[in-house]
Amino acid sequence: SLSLFIGCGNGDTNGDNGSEDEVQSIEWRLGHLGNDTHLWNVTALHFADLVNEKTDGQVTISVYPNEQLGNEIDNINMIQSGTADMVISGESMQNWAEKAALMAVPYAFNDIDHLRSVVEGEIGAEIETEISEKIGLKALYYHVRAPRNLTSNYPISTPADLAGFSMRVPNVPLFVEAWKAAGANPQVMAFSEVFTALQQNVINGQENPYDLIHSANFNEVQEYTNETEHVYGWLYVLVGEDQFAELSEANKAAVLEAAAETQVFADNLFSEEIEKYKAELIERGMKINSDVDKEAFREAMAPAVEEFLSETQLNLYNRIVEA
Ligand code: 2Q2
């Protein structure tokens, strides 16, 4: 028999949950800070299509780029209160789950392969578990990221060049400490506010991977990308555990299958597209300073990193650098 299940919203606690023949009608709202052509958005739309197909339209996902659902931190709070359902997030989750700090520690990873092995291994699993327990978010698939670089209006090659340099960092306490130690004057700001702050000289710079520098058109308000490559990291695409629990068993399986397929899509898209962002920024007139003393930045940040990390975090950190 087919029990019609109409308008199943967030927080609905109908005892039918999980029954096999239940027809659901669920809409999830996913927010992130990239623009509509950014690879996270393209991937999220692909995931939405797959979920729609595999659940016969019972689960639909609406994607909101450019922090249209609110900034990352608000987006997480909204998921917890049931007014949003999904988010793309990473090291900012250290504000709730300390192990999430390991998703982006200055100079912890050597390259993308090192990063991938950690994400796919035991450490990645531990981080996912803590995110689930402490924040109530379930990781569906992930994005590896190109390294973070510092942008500015004059070349910055060593920490000494940071004197008097005020810059934006995301809401990531470890980044605040690391950049202070390097000699800059960092302040926390939502991503969607950075362009205007740069334009109005409220800040002199910011740091992000090439794809987000491109996504937010920072080349219009910043002359240089300095290849500090100070952080390799990754992000999860997450859904609220409560929202996921509402799904019937069949729909849960469909969503997980869609997520596994989307992982392959995301990894392919990353390798195909990631180089293009730098090339296009150069075409747009951005200057690349590749003459950066990365070792000096690493040394300047190292004491702050060590001091910042709790015992738990330091253990994970040591396991990462030894991997
Ligand atoms: O600069 C940003 O806002 C992003 O590149 C952040 O790294 C990212 O959103 C983290 O805050 C992830 O939690």
218-244 residue pLDDT tens: 999 999 999 999 999 999 999 999 999
- Of 38, 208, 222, the residue with max ligand 1 atoms within 8 A of its CB, to mutate for a pocket test, comes to 208
Nearest CA, atom 9, ligand 1: 89
Distance 78 CA to ligand 1 centre (A): 17
* Residue 168 Cα: closest atom of ligand 1: 1
pLDDT of the residue at 19: 52
Ligand 1 pocket residue status of 97, Cβ below 6 Å:
no
Distance 231 CA to ligand 1 centre (A): 11
- Of 191, 192, 207, 237, the residue with max ligand 1 atoms within 8 A of its CB, to mutate for a pocket test, comes to 191
Ligand 1 pocket residue status of 191, Cβ below 6 Å:
yes
pLDDT of the residue at 22: 83
pLDDT of the residue at 10: 46
Each residue's pLDDT, cut to its tens digit, for the chain (323 residues) gives 344 444 444 444 444 454 556 899 999 999 999 999 999 999 999 999 999 999 999 999 999 999 999 999 999 999 999 999 999 999 999 999 999 999 999 999 989 999 999 999 999 999 999 999 999 999 999 999 999 999 999 999 999 999 999 999 999 999 999 999 999 999 999 999 999 999 999 999 999 999 999 999 999 999 999 999 999 999 999 999 999 999 999 999 999 999 999 999 999 999 999 999 999 999 999 999 999 999 999 999 999 999 999 999 999 999 999 88
Q: Write down the pTM of the prediction.
A: 0.93
Distance 176 CA to ligand 1 centre (A): 13
pLDDT of the residue at 20: 56
Ligand 1 pocket residue status of 151, Cβ below 6 Å:
no
User: Which residue(s) pair with 26 in the sheet?
Assistant: 59
Distance 180 CA to ligand 1 centre (A): 18
Ligand 1 pocket residue status of 72, Cβ below 6 Å:
yes
pLDDT of the residue at 323: 80
Q: What is the ipTM of this complex?
A: 0.97
Residue 138 contacts residue 244 (beta carbons within 8 Å)? yes
Please state the three-class secondary structure of the chain as a single string: CCCECCCCCCCCCCCCCCCCCCECCEEEEEECCCCCCCHHHHHHHHHHHHHHHHCCCCEEEEEECCCCCCCHHHHHHHHHHCCCCEEEECHHHHHCCHHHHHHCCCCCCCCHHHHHHHHHCHHHHHHHHHHHHHHCEEEEEEEECCCEEEEECCCCCCHHHHCCCEEEECCCHHHHHHHHHHCCEEEECCHHHHHHHHHCCCCCEEEECHHHHHHCCHHHCCCEEEEEEEECCEEEEEEEHHHHHCCCHHHHHHHHHHHHHHHHHHHHHHHHHHHHHHHHHHHCCCEEECCCCHHHHHHHHHHHHHHHCCHHHHHHHHHHHHC
Distance 191 CA to ligand 1 centre (A): 7
Residue 250 contacts residue 20 (beta carbons within 8 Å)? yes
- Of 148, 150, 193, 212, the residue with max ligand 1 atoms within 8 A of its CB, to mutate for a pocket test, comes to 212
pLDDT of the residue at 176: 98
- Of 92, 179, 234, the residue with max ligand 1 atoms within 8 A of its CB, to mutate for a pocket test, comes to 92
Ligand 1 pocket residue status of 228, Cβ below 6 Å:
no
Nearest CA, atom 5, ligand 1: 208
